[in-house]
């Protein structure tokens, strides 16, 4: 009988080859083999744990099932009764990778095996994903999964300083991480706008530092604030509660205490640890502030070390995040104590002084048996010997760290900043900027191509960052984090060769109703119709591609003015609907998805786009040099694509340069001209400055140009037009745009090269 049983099972499973379809799991497991039949999940199920060690995981599973079933299943140390079982067991055979598990489901029993408790927990998450979101007794399909993560650090960050989120929400956030097998929660607890963690030795940190007298409203740079007192903090008891809650979900909480910059809230409470001595206010607005911790004062270090001692007492994890980013050096330059420190320590500049601060703090933290991690600025002036780097300004920081044998966590703004727009900014709630779709996150490869295998092992993983300057409520945190976090979870867990965007999107769409059922406000920006213009075959015509990120529904459009009757055909490219349309005159367009069944609009409001045609629109255009790669969407054509860029659409509609640019447009034939103009952006907080001037010249043959004059603009915030009004005849128009050069003192990024942002040439 012992030998017969497996054979019988084998035979029966081959007989009617009706295996179940693969379930839509996120992240996709390493290997999954489907079988026939179902395991019924009813109150009759008992959960068996092979050792006391798994009590926490067993109870977790029981509690989840209790919410679905009429009665909670029994949790037993071993099999004492007959009936269906879910058996959780630790295997000591040493075969299973860290955090890996195997899940075997047959009609009679479920076996979940791992070499560690984390693996059991991840296997439970897989099992939960197989269950329906709500409702009663159910069944899960028979299958075998063997699974393990690709990276050890699978993180999500939350900034609770700019806006504060209470313990209940933080736990919810941790639950979301757990659901997708993420295992690091980076808690950004201090910043200029609020200190959020109780420190017993320094009560003013929360009495004073946790409260501000108002908050910035609207976009940066407008100087608009409300005067509503704002604040909040976590008591140490609450912190312990969160740490324990996360630990039960195999998530390590990484606390961040910002130093030496982003310290205004701390300095408002204890101004004596600054260079100037204060008084200071907890900041109402966002940005980077000149006053930082004084690096020349030994009592500053005692203060920071006392704070870190309490923090290390609360957070048992290996890493303590000490910030280190965006620390202006002005106050150190003017501070006698800091200058004396530089002299006595033989430091050649303020970058080395920053490095001195970090290394001194590192020594302290290391002596307590912990390690520090910091933003990539900690590389400047020399990296502390044992520090890990969190690479946010691109991937260079991570590369430099790995090449020098330091661990790194990748979090580049381009793919991992979930405070950026995830759909066309024109259709999204106000965000900080950027443009990072869920597909873009999914395309992220955490190991930079330039690393060799022995260096790549220093890349611990990656992390999604949720900075909350423009994120005011828990609902909006969810909107910004989900679904991008799911894409990142798969990037970090699933083997590279098993990643497949179209397949992920399909699974994601099946996940949306489940997220909804658990009350998560996921963004549906995926369903937004993207309207992308490109140069038509004939000059003066624009071809429009309309596409959505999903294969569901039909991508439709409505032409409001200026166009012929809409036709309703579409084609499928790479599994996604796509429509191409030809335009040659001004008008308005709406793109939207309809449900194929009911013809009603689904999921996402229509995208609207106005097109304004002028003599330059969709004509031949060159720019020398081409725009910088980061801001080159659509190429030179973007300047004549009929779309006038809006301020919000920095990454989609404006082109950016770091130097002068010469733009030439061929109008196709000699034209009567009375107006030549171009738009430029003034957004100094993003280092974007207006050009000094625009020199305009014209030509009939494209060889000999005669100057028409030079245009200046008023330096208003936002969009400005550089215009020449003169009646002339010409075929070619040339604009030489003079870049503003280095950013002047008094502006963010002073001394660095400014950005020149241009869009839409107007010739009438
Ligand atoms: C830069 S990322 C910061 C934060 C901001 C964030 C907004 C980093 C280390 N510093 O202070 O909140 O940009 O995207």
pLDDT tens column, 628-648: 998 999 999 999 999 999 888
**pLDDT over threshold 70, residue 171:** yes
* Ligand 1 site, residue 375, Cβ cutoff 6 A: yes
Q: Which of 125-139, 484-498, 591-605 has the highest mean pLDDT?
A: 484-498
Q: Where are the alpha helices (DSSP H) in 252-297?
A: 264-269
pLDDT band for position 186 (50/70/90)?
A: very high
> Measuring from atom 7 of ligand 1, which residue has the nearest CA?
467
Maximum C-alpha span of the chain: 100
Q: Is 419 in the pocket of ligand 1 (CB under 6 A)?
A: yes
Beta bridge partners of 595: none
Backbone angles phi, psi at 173, to 5 degrees: -65, -45
The answer on pLDDT for 599 being more than 70 is no
DSSP assignment of 187-235: EE-EETTEE-B--TT-THHHHTTTEES--B-SSTTS--B----EE--B-
How large is the average pLDDT for residues 154-159? 98
* 420 CA: nearest ligand 1 atom: 14
The stretch 240-245 carries a mean pLDDT of: 98
Of residues 481 and 526, more confidence is placed in 481
What integer pLDDT is reported at residue 136 of this predicted model?
64
326 Cβ below 6 A of ligand 1: yes
Confidence at residue 134, expressed as pLDDT on a 0 to 100 scale = 65
Give 19-59 pLDDT, tens digit per residue. 888 999 999 999 999 999 999 999 899 999 988 899 999 99
Q: CATH code for 528-611?
A: 2.60.40
Find out whether the beta carbon of 325 lies less than 6 Å from any atom of ligand 1.
yes
- For tokens 């002028």, the residue is 614
Query: 392 CB under 6 A from ligand 1?
Result: yes
Distance CA 37, CA 18 (A): 9
Higher pLDDT, 241 or 135: 241
Backbone conformation region of residue 158, classed left if phi is above 0, alpha if psi is from -120 to 50, else beta: beta
What is the per-residue pLDDT for 21?
A: 87
Q: Which of 324, 326, 468 to mutate to test the pocket of ligand 1 (most atoms within 8 A of CB)?
A: 326
Mean pLDDT for the chain overall: 91
- Architecture of the domain defined by 2-147: 2-Layer Sandwich (3.30)
Residue nearest to atom 2 of ligand 1 (CA): 392
Nearest CA, atom 8, ligand 1: 325
Distance 393 CA to ligand 1 centre (A): 10
The domain spans of the chain are: 2-147, 164-523, 528-611, 620-763
Indicate the Cα dihedral angle 118, 123, 124, 125, nearest 10°. 90
Residue of 193, 374, 467 to mutate, ligand 1, most atoms within 8 A of C-beta: 467
Superfamily per CATH, domain 620-763: Galactose-binding domain-like (2.60.120.260)
Which atom belonging to ligand 1 lies closest to the Cα atom of 411? 2
pLDDT at 109 over 90: yes
467 Cα–ligand 1 center, Å: 7
Instruction: Choose the residue to mutate in 188, 325, 328, 468 for probing ligand 1, maximizing ligand atoms within 8 Å of C-beta.
Output: 325
Protein residue closest via CA to atom 6 of ligand 1 = 467
Determine the Cα–Cα distance for residues 265 and 279; give it in Å rounded to an integer.
11
Indicate which atom in ligand 1 lies nearest the CA of residue 159: 12
State if residue 722 touches ligand 1 by the CB under 6 angstroms criterion: no
Over residues 402-429, mean pLDDT: 95
**CA pair distance 634, 656, nearest whole angstrom:** 12
Tell whether ligand 1 has an atom less than 6 A from the beta carbon of residue 377: no
pLDDT at 579: 57
Ligand 1 site, residue 220, Cβ cutoff 6 A: no
pLDDT at position 574 over 50: no
Higher pLDDT, 468 or 580: 468
If you average pLDDT over residues 172-192, what whole number do you get? 98
Q: Which CATH number fits domain 164-523: 3.30.1050.10, 2.60.120.10, 3.20.20.80, 1.10.3720.10?
A: 3.20.20.80
Q: Ligand 1 atom 13: the closest Cα is on which residue? A: 467
Res 592: pLDDT: 75
pLDDT of amino acid 138: 87
pLDDT above 70 as % of the chain = 91
Res 562 pLDDT > 80: no
pLDDT value of position 532: 87
* 3-state class percentages of the chain: helix first, strand second, coil last, to nearest 5: 30, 30, 40
Query: Ligand 1 centre and the CA of 277: distance in Å?
Result: 26
Active site residues: 191, 262, 326
Question: What is the share, in percent, of the chain residues with pLDDT greater than 90?
Answer: 76
Nearest CA to ligand 1 atom 14: 467
Q: 239: burial class by Cβ within 10 Å (0-12, 13-18, 19+)?
A: buried
User: Residue 716: is its pLDDT beyond 90?
Assistant: no
Q: Alpha-carbon distance 342 to 332, whole Å?
A: 10
Q: Which atom of ligand 1 is nearest to the CA of 469?
A: 12
H-state helical runs in 1-143: 4-15, 55-68, 117-130
Ligand 1 centroid to residue 392 C-alpha, Å: 9
């Amino acid at each position: 009988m012992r030998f017969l049983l497996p054979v019988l099972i084998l035979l029966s499973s081959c007989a009617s080859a009706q295996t179940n379809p693969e379930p839509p799991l996120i992240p996709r497991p390493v290997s999954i083999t489907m079988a026939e039949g179902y395991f019924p999940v009813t109150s009759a199920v008992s959960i068996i744990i092979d050792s006391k060690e798994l009590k926490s995981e067993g109870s977790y599973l029981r509690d989840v099932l209790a919410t679905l079933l009429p009665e909670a299943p029994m949790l037993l140390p071993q099999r004492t009764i007959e009936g269906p079982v879910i058996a959780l067991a630790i295997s000591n055979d040493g075969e299973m990778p860290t955090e890996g598990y195997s899940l075997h489901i047959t009609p009679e029993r479920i076996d979940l095996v791992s070499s560690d408790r984390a693996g059991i927990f991840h296997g439970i998450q897989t099992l939960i994903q197989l269950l329906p979101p709500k409702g009663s007794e159910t069944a899960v399909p028979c299958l075998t999964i063997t699974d393990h993560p690709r990276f050890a650090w699978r993180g999500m960050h939350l900034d609770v300083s700019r806006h504060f989120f209470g313990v209940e929400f933080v736990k919810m956030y941790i639950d979301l991480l757990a659901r997708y097998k993420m295992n690091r929660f980076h808690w950004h607890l201090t910043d200029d706008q609020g200190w959020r963690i109780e420190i017993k030795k320094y009560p003013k940190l929360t009495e004073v530092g946790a409260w501000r007298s108002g908050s910035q409203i609207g976009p940066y740079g407008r100087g608009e604030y409300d005067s509503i007192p704002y604040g909040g903090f976590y008591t140490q008891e609450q912190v312990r509660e969160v740490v324990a809650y996360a630990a039960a979900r195999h998530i390590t909480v990484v606390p961040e205490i910002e130093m030496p910059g982003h310290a205004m809230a701390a300095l408002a409470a204890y101004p004596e640890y600054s260079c100037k001595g204060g008084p200071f206010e907890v900041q109402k607005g966002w940005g980077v502030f000149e006053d930082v911790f004084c690096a020349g004062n030994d009592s500053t270090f005692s203060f920071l070390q006392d704070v870190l001692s309490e923090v290390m007492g609360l957070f048992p994890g290996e890493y303590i995040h000490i910030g280190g980013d965006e620390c202006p050096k002005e106050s150190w330059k003017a501070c006698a104590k800091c200058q004396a420190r530089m002299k006595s320590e033989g430091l050649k500049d303020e970058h080395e002084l920053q490095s001195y601060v970090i290394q001194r703090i590192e020594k302290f933290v290391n002596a307590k048996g912990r390690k520090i991690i910091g933003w990539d600025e900690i590389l400047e002036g020399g990296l502390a010997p044992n520090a890990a780097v969190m690479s946010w300004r691109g991937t260079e920081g991570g590369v430099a760290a790995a090449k020098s044998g330091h661990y790194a966590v990748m979090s580049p703004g381009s793919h991992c900043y979930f405070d950026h727009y995830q759909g066309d900014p024109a259709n999204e709630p106000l965000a900080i900027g950027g443009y990072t779709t869920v597909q873009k996150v999914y395309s992220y490869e955490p190991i930079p191509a330039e690393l060799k295998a022995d260096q790549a092992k220093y890349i611990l993983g990656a992390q999604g960052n949720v900075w909350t300057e423009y994120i005011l409520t828990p609902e909006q945190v969810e909107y910004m984090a989900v679904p991008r976090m799911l894409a990142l979870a798969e990037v970090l867990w699933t083997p590279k060769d098993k990643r497949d965007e179209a397949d992920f999107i399909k699974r994601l769409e099946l996940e949306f109703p489940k997220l909804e059922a658990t009350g998560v406000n996921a963004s549906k920006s995926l369903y937004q119709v993207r309207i992308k213009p490109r140069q038509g075959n004939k000059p003066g015509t624009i071809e429009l591609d309309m596409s959505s990120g999903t294969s569901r529904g039909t991508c439709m459009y409505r032409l409001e003015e200026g166009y012929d009757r809409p036709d309703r055909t579409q084609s499928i490219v790479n599994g996604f609907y796509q429509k191409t349309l030809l335009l040659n005159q001004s008008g308005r367009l709406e793109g939207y998805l309809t449900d194929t069944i009911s013809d009603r609009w689904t999921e996402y409001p229509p995208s609207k786009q106005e097109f304004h045609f002028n003599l330059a629109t969709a004509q031949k255009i060159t720019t020398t040099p081409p725009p910088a790669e980061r801001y080159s969407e659509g190429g030179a054509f973007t300047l004549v694509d009929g779309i006038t860029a809006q301020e919000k659409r920095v990454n989609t509609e404006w082109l950016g340069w770091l130097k002068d640019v010469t733009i030439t447009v061929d109008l196709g034939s000699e034209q009567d001209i009375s107006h030549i103009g171009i738009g430029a952006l003034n957004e100094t907080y993003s280092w974007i400055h207006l050009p000094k001037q625009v020199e305009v010249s014209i030509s009939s043959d494209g060889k000999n140009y005669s100057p028409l004059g030079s245009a200046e603009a008023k330096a208003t915030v936002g969009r400005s037009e550089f215009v020449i009004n003169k009646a002339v005849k010409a075929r070619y128009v040339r604009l030489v745009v003079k870049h503003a050069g280095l950013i002047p003192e008094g502006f963010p990024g002073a001394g660095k090269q400014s950005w020149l942002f241009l869009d839409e040439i107007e010739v009438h």
